[in-house]
Amino acid sequence: MNIARTAATSLFLVLLVASLSLPSRAADGATSLVGTWKVERITDTDVATGKVVHPYGEHPKGYIVYDPTGHLHVQVMRTPATRPFVSGDDAKGTDAEVRAAYDGYVAYFGTYEVDTDKGMVIHSVEGSLMPSYTGTDQPRPFRIKGDVLTIEGETQGIHFLRQLRRVR
């Protein structure tokens, strides 16, 4: 083996070992959360009346991705999806068409941290389709059983349930 090849191999091994030993933002008990999760169920239940609402339809589509560097993105859409705009041009929808498309989709990205003692993941939103989310922290009580992630809690009289399955 020549010297250049030996040096390159040694450098590769040093970089590999160094990268494996770097701490990830998702460490500290969050390792089981890392991955891509496909939405299976989303419900909101009015605590006072018991009325259940499916804000993105009974069979929503979407994903939440938690990466090992502590970043996340969330994309969820209503099904059935909003119909194409009558004009045939996404830039020329009526106010009602645009509102229906907006109401049928949620999307945001940012970073996350896990508080394992509280069973909580905190989404720190850097950008969002909903302007009021940008720059906020969104705490989410969660649990993982096998390949099922359940985000569930209560806020302002609404019991929310988000059930997702790990993508394999």
Residue 153 tokens, joined: 């809690």
3-class SS of residue 29: coil
Q: How distant is the alpha carbon of residue 107 from its chain centre?
A: 9
* The predicted structure's pLDDT at residue 114: 96
Q: What does the alpha-carbon distance between residue 7 and residue 84 come to, in Å, rounded to a whole number? A: 58
* The predicted structure's pLDDT at residue 30: 67
**Whether the Cβ atoms of residue 64 and residue 109 lie closer than 8 Å to each other:** no
- Count CB neighbours of 66 within 10 A: 25
**Tens-digit pLDDT string for the chain (168 aa):** 555 444 333 333 333 333 333 334 444 446 899 999 999 999 999 999 999 999 999 999 999 999 999 999 999 999 988 789 999 999 999 999 999 999 999 999 999 999 989 999 999 999 999 999 999 999 999 999 999 999 999 999 999 999 999 998
Q: Hey, which CATH number is domain 23-166, 2.40.128.280, 2.60.120.260, 3.90.180.10, 3.90.550.10?
A: 2.40.128.280
Handedness of CA 94, 60, 41, 50 (dihedral sign): positive
Q: What does the alpha-carbon distance between residue 33 and residue 150 come to, in Å, rounded to a whole number? A: 11
* The predicted structure's pLDDT at residue 168: 87
Kind plus residue range of the DSSP H or E element containing 159: strand 158-166
Q: What does the alpha-carbon distance between residue 50 and residue 48 come to, in Å, rounded to a whole number? A: 6
Q: What does the alpha-carbon distance between residue 162 and residue 40 come to, in Å, rounded to a whole number? A: 8
